Structure 1
Amino acid sequence: MKDKHKKRERVNDEIRIPQVRLIDENGNSLGIVNTQEALNIANNRELDLVEISPNAKPPVCKIVDYGKYNYEKQKKEKQAKKQQFVMQVKEIRFNPNTDKHDLEFKAKHLRHFLLEGHKIKISVIFRGRMITHAEFGEKLMSEVISKLDDVGKLESSPKMEGKQLIVYMTPDKNKIKALKEKQRSESTQQNL
């Protein structure tokens, strides 16, 4: 509750500085004026005097409808928060001898992660002497990549790191959008 109180800008009589730099409702600068005079101008126009930049010398105040100003500000903050998406890296590990069913199951999960907008890490882990037959792991990796090609794109080609064959994939927004459009059109055709 205190955080909201701190963020709120000072309005009308809460402004106790002797002089302010005044901006009218159209964005025109009216110069440096006494605070009381600025309040009178705002009251005559049936608007509020809001302190926009308290740290400036002198502080910048604007004549606005505070309710509308506050609503617009909250709307912008909400929009900015909505656009912030933290991309997580989801990892699924394979063994070079992974069975067909397990491969399908894990590929389905990887597809789901890509559709949700997450970056994925595909690892094929070689244990013991399996490293001598790296071609099995490479074959498995290419099979997994081909299953996810319609929703993701490779960041780089698969590479060996120690006893692991690793590749990163990111969601391809254009491919995902096209896939969703195709699914939507198919579902509407089935409904007819």
Structure 2
Amino acid sequence: MALPNRGGGGGRFNPRFNRQPEPEHRINERIRVPQVRLVGDNVTVGVYPTEEARRIARDLELDLVEISPNADPPVCKAIDYKKFLYEKKRKEKDMKANAKQSEVKEIRFTPGTDDHDFDFKAKHAEKFLKDGNKVKAYVQFKGRAIMFKERGELVLLKFAERLAEVGQPEALPKLEGKRMLLMLTPKTSKKKKETAE
């Protein structure tokens, strides 16, 4: 009986081990288009033959990195590629760390929640949203209180309206079993966006 051929037959058995990971961007000699738009610090922005753009980057002791391959001509930047990747990874790590910190905070109401209790809970929810957490507000119906589900819906809509400046509902209130739920996500303020840019 012939044994299966485990030799170098195209690496069918485990192609993962044969493949070199492709770099995220085309850099230096991997850029094979005839001309590129060159951007970056200390360069004269413009369209250059690729070879000349590479030479300019080399003279600055930088890499030529293709950042917009679909542009016409593709846009390339003269940068230190290792440093660029390091910065990119660091930003992604920071974003993940910030994302992990956000939690879902629960706020519970009943169909008969009074104004004082409502205000107290709305203030808590406002703080949660400002801290970047989601708020899951729900009205709990006990026994025959389910007959007052419209009242529960009104409580949640009033709650969403109260928090409109800091949070936005993901959807309209919905009934799940003996609970009516409303999920609010934090609104990113304009100031935050500006500082991020």
* TM alignment of 1:85-164, pairs within 5 A: 85-86=99-100, 87-164=102-179
- Residues 162 and 118 of structure 1, relative CA distance in 2, 3 Å threshold: same
Q: Distance in 2 between matches of 1:156 and 1:149?
A: 13
C-alpha displacement at 1:79, in angstroms?
2.3
Do structure 1's residue 82 and structure 2's residue 94 form an aligned pair?
Answer: yes
AA at the equivalent of 1:157: L
Structure 1 counterpart of 2:150, which letter? E
Q: Shift of the alpha carbon at 1:75? A: 4.5
Q: Name the aligned partner's letter for residue 82 of structure 1.
A: D
Following superposition, the deviation at residue 159 of structure 1 comes to 0.8
Structure 1's 129 and 79: CA in aligned 2 closer, same or farther, altered over 3 A?
A: same
Deviations 1:134-174 (A, max 9, x none): 2221221121111011111111111111111111111222x
SS at 1:169 equivalent = strand
The answer for the alignment partner of 1:177 in structure 2 is 190
Q: Which runs of 5+ in 1 are unaligned?
A: 1-25, 30-67, 182-192
Question: Higher helix share goes to which structure?
Answer: 1
Distance 1:76 1:160 in 2: 43
- 1:110 is paired with a residue of what secondary structure? helix
The two structures, once aligned, show a CA RMSD in angstroms of 3.0
Aligned length: 117
Once residues 151 and 140 of structure 1 are traced to their aligned partners in structure 2, the CA distance between those partners, rounded to angstroms, is: 18
Question: C-alpha displacement at 1:80, in angstroms?
Answer: 2.1
Q: For residues 105 and 177 of structure 1, do their structure 2 counterparts lie closer, same or farther at Cα, with a shift above 3 Å needed?
A: farther
1:1-41 deviation digits (Å, cap 9, x = unpaired): xxxxxxxxxxxxxxxxxxxxxxxxx9558xxxxxxxxxxxx
- The runs of 5 or more residues in structure 2 that have no matched partner are 1-26, 31-79
User: Deviation of residue 77 (structure 1)?
Assistant: 3.7
Equivalent position amino acid for 1:81 in 2 = K
Percent identical among aligned pairs is 39
What is the rounded CA distance, in whole Å, between the counterparts of 1:132 and 1:73 in structure 2? 59
Question: What SS does the aligned partner of 1:146 have?
Answer: helix
Match of 1:168 among 156, 180, 183: 183
- Residue 130 of structure 1 aligns to a residue whose secondary structure is helix
Partners in 1 of 2:180 and 2:117 — Cα distance?
Answer: 18
